[in-house]
Chain A
Amino acid sequence: MRPQTYSNVADNSGARESMRIRVPGASNRQYASIGDMIVAVVREAVPNMPPKGSEVVRAVIARTRKGLNRDNGMAIRFDDNAAVAIDREGNPKGTRVFGPVARESRECHFAKTVSSAPEVLR
């Protein structure tokens, strides 16, 4: 996922779409993949809910169209780019995640996202 990439927000935090700005903690890192934390700006939000359009949030990438390759040779690709909004400490902002999540999020210290997810892909 590159900067300026739009992604769906896959939780009920109130944001609908977000646009990736940066990957925090690295000076000029170009790509963020599943399980990476990104800084994004909310582009579209559900009305009357906390995140407003143009609010900067942190998010964890849950799904990407590019997907990822696993050690056992399996490759997973999704139909959309999706992220889950989190706060600075890594707690998800919404209570539930929508859609499947790859298990890599858990290995990248975001097990809370995985706990709220309806389906975790092996």
Chain B
Amino acid sequence: MASDSQAEDEEQEDALLSDEEEETEEEDEEDNVDVDVLSNEEIDALMKEYGNVVRSDPEPRKSSAEDANADAEALSMATALATAANEVKAVDIKLFHVKPLIYWARYFLIASAFSMPQVNAIVGRIEDIAQEQYGKIPRPSGKPSGWTLMDFDIYTAGDVVVHIFLPSQREFYNLEEFYANAPLVELPFVSESSSSSTARSDAEGESEEEMISLS
């Protein structure tokens, strides 16, 4: 091209400059893409066009909206399980909101039972309610014993963990002290305290007496 031959005739620097100018003029309409410096939009566009997801996190971080839903669902399930435990006459039922303390659970439900058959009854009742109302099965964790634990998942992390203790075991492990910083959630019923068997709500007391008289 005539302009190129002119550039060759000139000095080196000028030649280079004019060459560049020539190129920019010729490639006026194309993006002057310098590969070393790509803007974010350009990178995104390239990724979208050519990118391939090789592996994604199986536990993706939830958006705050999803998280709030999960919180609400966990709370309703935890209170339903607490009510179920209360119906089987578990005592000292406490619901701790442990999400601020630990990442792997939202609520701890701690209850006491007086005998192994009662523990089994509570376990059965809680499993039934979880299955029917929420479709959740507890993660398998061995035979019921002095400390029985039931681990319910809502998402991949277990959200409601139920601990059923015999009173001696509850004192021994003292989880309430360990999680003392967790706020207690108010339950829709008055939980019977193991220390005083006369501490019952009126409704509960009446229904209990009715049951006794019927049996």
Residues of A within 8 A of B (CB): 71-73, 89-92, 95-96, 103, 106-107, 109-112, 114-116, 120, 122
Contact = CB atoms under 8 A, between A and B. Distances in A.
B172 interface: yes
Interface in B118-161: 139-143, 145-147, 149, 151, 158, 161
**A71, A73, A95, A116, most chain B CB atoms within 10 A:** A95
B57 A111 contact: no
Contact of A89 (B142, B158, B172): B142
B163 interface: yes
Interface stretch (B11-19, B173-181, B186-194, B204-212): B173-181
A114 B101 CA distance: 13
A116 B102 CA distance: 11
B58 A91 contact: no
List 10 tightest A-B contacts by C-beta distance, closest first. A89-B145, A90-B142, A109-B141, A91-B147, A111-B151, A111-B149, A95-B173, A72-B57, A112-B149, A120-B104
6 contacts: A72-B58, A72-B59, A90-B142, A109-B140, A109-B142, A114-B104
B48 interface: no
Given A91-B145, A95-B172, A111 B139 contact: yes
B146 A91 contact: yes
A100 B45 CA distance: 42
B161 to A, nearest CB: 7
**B143, B146, B151, B172, most chain A CB atoms within 10 A:** B151
B50 interface: no
Nearest to B171: A95
A77 B147 CA distance: 30
A71 B140 contact: no
A106 B104 contact: yes
Contacts of B175: 115-116
A120 B102 contact: yes
Contacts of A103: 104
